[in-house]
Amino acid sequence: MQVTEKRYSTIEEYLALEEKADSRSEYIDGEIIPMAGGSANHNRIAGNFYAVMNFAFKRENYEVFNSDMRLWLPKPRIYTYPDVMVIAGEPEFFENRKDIITNPKVIIEVLSKSTESYDREDKFKAYRTIPSFEEYLLIEQDIIYIRHYSKTSNKRWSLQEYDEEDEKISLTTIPFEITLQDLYNKVKFDTIES
C-alpha cells in the first residue's frame, strides 16, 4: 500500500499559482484544493441573487461581489470564493490587493452534493471568525430550500428556513428582500416519477 504525502504550500505559492491558473482553487491552511465547476442550476441561482441584489444596491452604500472575488480568512488561514458576498461601506482588501476581500457582511452559498456538508459546518465555522460577518444563506439547487442564519449577538445565530415558492427572504442586517420565485427563476428541478 502506497501512502501519498500531502503537499503543503505557502500563501505566496498559492497566490502565484492562482494568478496563472485556468481554474480556481481554495487554500485551506497550506493545502490547495481544486474547486469543482458549477452546474447550470448553481449558476442560475447565484446569478439571480447577484443580479437582483446588485440592482437593488446601485445607489446604496453596499457592494455585491460574485464568485470571482476571493475572500481571506486569516484565523483559520483560508482563501475561498463565496458565490455571493455583500460588503457594507467600502471593501477592505487584503494587503492592498484588489482581488481579495476581508470584510463581507453577508455571504451566500449555493449548495452542491459535494460541498454541502463543508458549507454548512466547517466553512460556516470559518466564516464566523470574520468580525464583519452577520448573515449566511445556504441555498439548495435541486429543491426549493434555503437556510438563512442571522447573527443575533456574540456567538448566537438564529435560523430561518424557506421552502415555498411564494415566500420572500428578508435579510436582517441590510435592507434587501428577494422572492423565492425570483431566486429560483429558470432553475430546472428534476422530476422523480413514483
**pLDDT band for position 148 (cuts 50, 70, 90):** very high
**Predicted confidence (pLDDT) per residue in 77-115, tens digit:** 999 999 999 999 999 999 888 999 999 999 999 998 877
If you average pLDDT over residues 17-23, what whole number do you get?
89
Give the Cα separation of 29 and 66 in Å (integer).
23
CB atoms within 10 A of CB 69: 20
Domains and CATH numbers, the chain: 38-183 (3.90.1570.10)
User: Which tens digits make up the pLDDT trace of 155-172?
Assistant: 899 999 999 989 999 999
* E strand map for 57-191: 62-66, 70-73, 78-80, 84-88, 100-101, 106-110, 135-139, 146-153, 156-162, 168-170, 177-179
Q: Distance between CA 38 and CA 119 in Å, rounded? A: 15
What is the pTM (predicted TM-score) of this model?
A: 0.91
**Residue owning grid cell 424557506:** 162
Q: What angle do CA 157, 104, 82 make, to 5 degrees?
A: 90
Question: What is the residue type of 83?
Answer: D
